[in-house]
Amino acid sequence: MSALTADQRPSSTLPHVRIQPARGLLDLDLAALWQYRELIYILVWRDVTVRYKQTLLGVAWAMFQPVATMLIFTVVFSVMGKIPSDGFPYPVFLYAGLLPWFYVSQALSRGGTSLVGEAPLISKVYFPRLILPLSATIAPLVDLVLAFVAFLGLMAWFGILPTWRILSLPLFAALAATITLAAGLWISALYVKYRDVGHILPMLIQLWMFVSPILYPVSKVPESWRALYAMNPVVSVVEGFRWALIPGFEVDFTMFLPSLGVVFVVFVGGLIYFRSMERTFADVI
């Protein structure tokens, strides 16, 4: 019976945990993350399930939202605003950019609020806190896949056939996930301490959309600003998505380098900041 388990097991086989003040800058404790991998899985599953519970359309929303946005933006920016799209059909051009952007904005707002949103949990149960922004970053990937299916329909409508480049899409999706996780680490940890973040975050997301080439092509950005522009990692993601999805779309891959550097710095910095703040989450939240 259950009674056997505890008493007859020698101590050596019992999990041993040493509780002590955390030290070191980057003590990731990947072992703990691995031990709690099922929690990551189940939180992702929860986020996806809860999002479409008690809705009529269910997961169809994940397709309907970007498609509707694409239609509206096409009317406003292409038909009325005459924004160029490097010679590609504007709806396809736009949707290929909206696809990763919907993911980034969603993962960002969910990841940023992931700690404060689970405050009761943090003050009552132990688990590696990193799991919260991490699972919040993973969950919207499901929506991304669904929105991608809708994109295939759009391509069929315009009679465009995908090329082998489409295989590189997971790579760019991974880049998008890394970017949002990097930002999410900072934002979620800052949010615990400063509730201002709740007001800043929606503004930040909106601003970020306009400094990314979603509605307009990179060619519209003045040459002298390109170097600065390339620091925005979302530029790489959007350009990467377009390159992978639209046959004949050309990308200057040297533009990717500065943004990869930015992502790396923000990501490592975010990990260090998150880990150092983690010690006080339960006391401050």
Partner 1 sequence: MSDIAIKADCLSKHYRLGAASRQHNTLRDHLMHRLRGLTRWGGGRQESNPSFWALKDISFEVKRGEVLGIVGHNGAGKSTLLKILSRITQPTTGTADIYGRVSSLLEVGTGFHSELSGRENIYLNAAMLDMRREEVRRKFDEIVAFSGVEAFIDTPVKRYSSGMYVRLAFAVAAHLEPEILIVDEVLAVGDASFQQKCLGKMEEVSRSGRTVLIVSHNMTVIEGLCERAILLEKGRVAKIGNTHEVVEGYADAIRGLAGTEIEARHDREGLGEILLTRIEVMDTQRHPVAAAITGRDVVIRMYYRCAAGKEFLNCRVSISVNGRKAQDLFVLSTDIVDPKPLTLRGEGYVDFIVPELPLTGGAYFFQSYIESNGHAQDWIKNVAPFSVLDADYYGTGKLCPPGWEANGVLVRYRWEAGETGSTAALPIRARAS
Residue ranges in contact with partner 1 by CB under 8 A: 2-3, 5-8, 10-12, 14-22, 35-36, 38-39, 41-43, 46, 49-50, 53-54, 120-127, 193-196, 279-280, 282-284
Q: Which helix (H) or strand (E) holds 258?
A: helix 256-284
Residue type at position 218: V
Q: Which is nearer to partner 1, 122 or 266 (CB)?
A: 122
> In 3D, which of 215, 245, 208 has the Cα closest to residue 229?
208
Question: Is the CB of 53 or the CB of 82 nearer to partner 1?
Answer: 53
Task: Specify whether the CB–CB gap between 274 and 185 falls below 8 A.
Answer: yes
One-letter amino acid of 77:
F
Q: How far is the CB of 278 from partner 1 (least distance, A)?
A: 9
Q: Please answer whether residues 166 and 245 qualify as being in contact, where contact means their C-beta atoms are separated by less than 8 angstroms.
A: yes
**How far apart, in whole angstroms, are the C-alpha atoms of residue 95 and residue 89?**
10
Closer of 23 and 82 to partner 1 (Cβ): 23
Nearer to partner 1, 13 or 224 (CB): 13
Q: State in angstroms the smallest separation of the CB of 67 from partner 1.
A: 26
Residue 105 CB, shortest distance to partner 1, in Å, is: 22
Q: CA-to-CA distance for 66 and 45, rounded, in angstroms?
A: 22
Nearer to partner 1 by Cβ, of 139 and 215: the residue is: 139
Structure tokens at 1: 């019976």
C-alpha dist (Å) from residue 60 to 49, 52, 145, 147, 235 = 13, 9, 12, 9, 28
What is the closest distance, in whole angstroms, from the C-beta atom of residue 102 to partner 1 in the complex?
Answer: 22
Beta carbon of residue 77, minimum distance to partner 1 (angstroms, whole number): 34
**Shortest Cβ distance from residue 188 to partner 1 (Å)?**
16
Nearest approach, Cβ of residue 108 and partner 1 (Å)? 19
d(CA 113, CA 189): 9
Q: How far is CA 86 from the centre of its chain?
A: 27
Taking the CA atoms of the chain, what radius of gyration do you get in angstroms? 22
In this structure, are residues 197 and 191 in contact, taking their beta carbons and an 8 Å threshold? yes
Q: Which is nearer to partner 1, 121 or 205 (CB)?
A: 121
